[in-house]
C-alpha cells in the first residue's frame, strides 16, 4: 500500500477489542506516546498529515500545494532526478502559460492552441521529439517519460499538438515509414516545426483497436460506399476519395496520416497515406467540439493525391493497434493529471463539510489507483485500454465533484469517452485480449 492510501486508511482503523473508554477524547489525549516497532505503524498514534489537501484530517487549513505524485510503480524517491526536473519545469511553465483561463483563450484562436507555448515546449524542452529516435533528432525516450509529460499537460488542460503529433502520428511514421520518409518528416516533428494528424474513417477507438479488433468490420471502407478509398493513378501514384470525421487537430496539422481502403475483394486491405496540408482536393472543416481544448475537424478527400506510407506489404493494422495501446496509456496519464488538478481545486473550496471531505478522500484513492495503472501501462502497453477505462472513470467522478468550479474537466472526460471508447467497452476489449472469458484475442 502506498503512502497516500495509508494516510487515508489510518483514521478508519478498527478500535481495539473490549469495552470503549468512558471518555474517548480524554483517554486518547492522556495515553502516553509509545514508540512503534520497526516497520509497523503505531495504531494509537495520531495519523500523520495527509498529503492530499481534502483528506478528512483535523487540520484547520489545507496545505497550499500538492506533493508530486509517486513514481510509476513505486514511491516518489524512485523517480530519476532528470524526470523530477522535467516535471517541475513543465508544471511551472504550464501554470504560467496555460491553466483553465489560458486554455480557453488558446482554444479560441485560429490554430486552437497556443503556438508560442508549443514552440517553447518543443524547442526549449524538446517535448515534441521526446519519443522520436535519436538518429532523427529526437530524445529517444520511452513511453514512461512521455506519460509523465502527458500527465502534466492534463493537469493544465493545455491544448497542444502533443496527442495528435507526438503520441499518435510519430510512432506510425517511425514504424512504417521508409528511410527517406522518416528522414524527411521525423526531424521536423522533433523540433515542433511539423504537426501531424491521424485521419481514420469510422472513429479512432475502432481503428486503433481500443474497443474491438481493428481487423474486423469495414471501418476503413471495405470497398463499399463510405470511408476513404484509395486508387492507383495513371502515373503510378495514389488518389484518395472520401472523408473522415472527428480528426484531432485535423484543421491545423501540416501533415495528415490517412487510413484508406484499397483493392478488390481478393486484395482488400487498409493502407496509410501521407497527405500534406496544401494538397489539391483536400478540404478541412472545423467541427463543433464538446471539449474546446481537443479541437476536431472533418477532412474530405476529393481526388486528392497521396503518398503511400512505407512499402507493401506492411502490417498497417498491427501498427495501428500497437500505437493505440501506447496512446491509451498516454491518454490515461493525461486524464489522471486532469483529475488530480480538479481534486486540488475541489479540496481548496471554502466551507467544505465533513461528508464532502470524505468523498474527496475516496476520490483521491481512485485517482491514485488510476495513476498506478497508467504508469504500469506505459511500461506494458497491453494494459493501456484497461488503464484508460479506470482513468476516465476517475476523471468523470472527480469532475462531477468540482463541476461548479470548472467545467473543462467534465468536458474532457466526456469528449475522451466519445473519441476513444466508453469505459465499459475498453474493459471488455481488455478482457477479450487477455482471454479472461475465453480464448485470447489478437
pLDDT of residue 196: 97
Of 297, 246, 175, residue with least CA distance to 416: 246
pLDDT at residue 218, as a whole number: 72
Report how far residue 209's alpha carbon sits from residue 200's, in angstroms, rounded to the nearest whole number.
12
CA distance 309 to 306: 9
Contact (CB, 8 A) for 432 and 211 = no
In a domain, 214, yes or no: yes
Q: How far apart are CA 330 and CA 241, in angstroms?
A: 32
Output the pLDDT for position 36: 43
Determine the Cα–Cα distance for residues 348 and 345; give it in Å rounded to an integer. 5
pLDDT at residue 10, rounded to an integer = 44
Determine the Cα–Cα distance for residues 106 and 116; give it in Å rounded to an integer: 10
**282 lies in a domain?**
yes
What pLDDT sits at residue 101? 63
CA distance 143 to 10: 34
CATH of the domain at 272: 2.40.110.10
Q: Is residue 271 part of a domain?
A: yes
Judge whether 441 and 213 are in contact, CB under 8 Å.
Answer: yes
Helix (H) or strand (E) holding 149: helix 143-156
Whether 272 is in a domain gets the answer yes
pLDDT at residue 7, rounded to an integer: 42
Do the beta carbons of residue 365 and residue 5 sit within 8 Å? yes
Q: What pLDDT, in 10s, does the model give residues 366-401?
A: 999 999 999 999 999 999 999 999 999 999 999 887
Confirm whether 296 is domain-assigned: yes
Q: What is the pLDDT of residue 164?
A: 96
**Does residue 41 fall inside a structural domain?**
no
Cα–Cα distance, 273 to 182 (Å, whole number): 14
Tens-digit pLDDT profile for residues 189-215:
999 999 999 999 988 999 999 998 888
Task: Count CA atoms within 13 Å of residue 243 on its CB side.
Answer: 9
Q: Is 441 left (phi over 0), alpha (psi -120 to 50) or beta?
A: beta
* Number of separate domains in the chain: 1
Sign of the CA dihedral running 102, 105, 108, 112 = negative
Range of the domain at 260: 197-317
Residue 89 lies inside a defined structural domain of this protein: no
138 grid coordinates: 529526437
The answer to whether residue 293 sits within a structural domain is yes
Nearest to 99 by CA among 61, 137, 48, 154: 154
How high is the mean pLDDT of the chain? 80
Q: What are phi and psi of 75, to 5 degrees?
A: -70, 175
Stretches where the chain sits below pLDDT 70 are 1-79, 98-109, 217, 222-226, 264-266, 348-355, 403-406, 436-442
Amino acid at each position: 500500500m502506498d503512502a497516500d492510501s495509508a494516510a487515508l486508511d489510518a483514521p478508519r482503523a478498527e478500535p481495539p477489542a473490549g469495552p470503549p473508554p468512558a471518555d474517548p477524547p480524554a483517554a486518547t489525549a492522556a495515553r502516553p506516546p509509545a514508540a512503534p516497532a520497526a516497520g509497523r505503524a503505531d495504531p494509537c498514534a495520531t495519523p500523520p498529515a495527509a498529503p492530499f489537501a481534502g483528506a478528512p484530517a483535523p487540520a484547520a487549513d489545507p496545505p497550499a500545494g500538492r506533493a508530486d505524485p509517486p513514481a510509476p510503480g513505486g514511491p516518489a524517491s524512485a523517480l530519476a532526478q532528470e524526470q523530477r526536473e522535467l516535471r517541475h519545469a513543465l508544471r511551472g511553465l504550464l501554470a504560467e502559460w496555460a491553466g483553465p483561463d489560458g486554455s480557453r483563450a488558446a482554444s479560441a484562436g485560429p490554430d486552437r492552441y497556443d503556438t508560442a507555448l508549443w514552440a517553447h515546449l518543443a524547442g526549449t524542452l524538446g517535448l515534441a521529439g521526446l519519443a522520436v529516435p535519436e538518429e532523427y533528432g529526437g530524445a529517444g525516450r520511452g513511453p514512461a517519460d512521455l506519460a509523465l509529460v502527458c500527465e502534466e499537460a492534463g493537469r493544465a488542460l493545455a491544448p497542444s499538438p502533443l496527442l495528435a503529433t507526438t503520441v499518435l502520428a510519430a510512432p506510425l511514421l517511425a514504424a512504417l515509414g521508409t528511410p527517406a520518409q522518416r528522414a524527411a518528416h521525423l526531424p521536423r516533428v522533433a523540433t515542433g516545426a511539423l504537426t501531424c494528424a491521424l485521419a481514420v474513417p469510422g472513429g479512432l477507438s475502432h481503428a486503433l483497436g481500443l474497443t474491438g479488433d481493428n481487423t474486423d468490420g469495414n471501418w476503413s471502407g471495405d470497398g463499399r460506399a463510405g470511408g476513404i478509398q484509395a486508387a492507383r493513378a495513371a502515373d503510378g501514384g495514389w488518389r484518395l476519395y472520401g472523408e473522415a470525421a472527428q480528426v484531432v487537430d485535423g484543421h491545423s496539422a501540416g501533415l495528415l496520416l490517412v487510413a484508406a481502403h484499397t483493392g478488390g475483394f481478393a486484395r482488400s486491405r487498409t493502407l496509410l497515406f501521407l497527405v500534406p496540408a496544401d494538397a489539391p482536393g483536400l478540404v478541412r472543416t472545423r467541427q463543433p467540439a464538446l471539449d474546446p481544448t481537443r479541437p476536431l475537424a472533418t477532412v474530405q478527400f476529393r481526388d486528392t493525391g497521396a503518398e503511400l506510407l512505407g512499402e507493401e506489404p506492411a502490417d498497417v493494422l498491427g501498427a495501428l493497434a500497437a500505437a493505440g495501446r501506447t496512446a491509451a496509456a498516454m491518454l490515461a496519464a493525461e486524464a489522471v493529471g486532469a483529475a488530480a488538478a480538479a481534486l486540488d481545486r475541489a479540496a481548496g473550496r471554502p466551507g467544505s463539510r465533513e461528508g464532502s471531505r470524505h468523498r474527496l478522500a475516496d476520490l483521491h484513492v481512485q485517482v491514485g489507483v488510476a495513476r498506478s495503472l497508467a504508469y504500469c501501462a506505459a511500461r506494458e502497453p497491453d494494459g493501456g485500454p484497461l488503464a484508460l477505462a479506470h482513468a476516465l472513470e476517475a476523471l468523470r467522478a472527480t469532475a462531477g465533484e468540482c463541476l461548479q468550479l470548472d467545467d473543462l474537466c467534465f468536458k474532457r472526460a466526456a469528449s475522451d469517452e466519445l473519441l476513444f471508447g466508453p469505459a465499459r467497452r475498453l474493459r471488455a476489449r481488455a478482457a477479450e485480449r487477455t482471454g479472461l472469458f475465453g480464448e485470447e484475442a489478437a
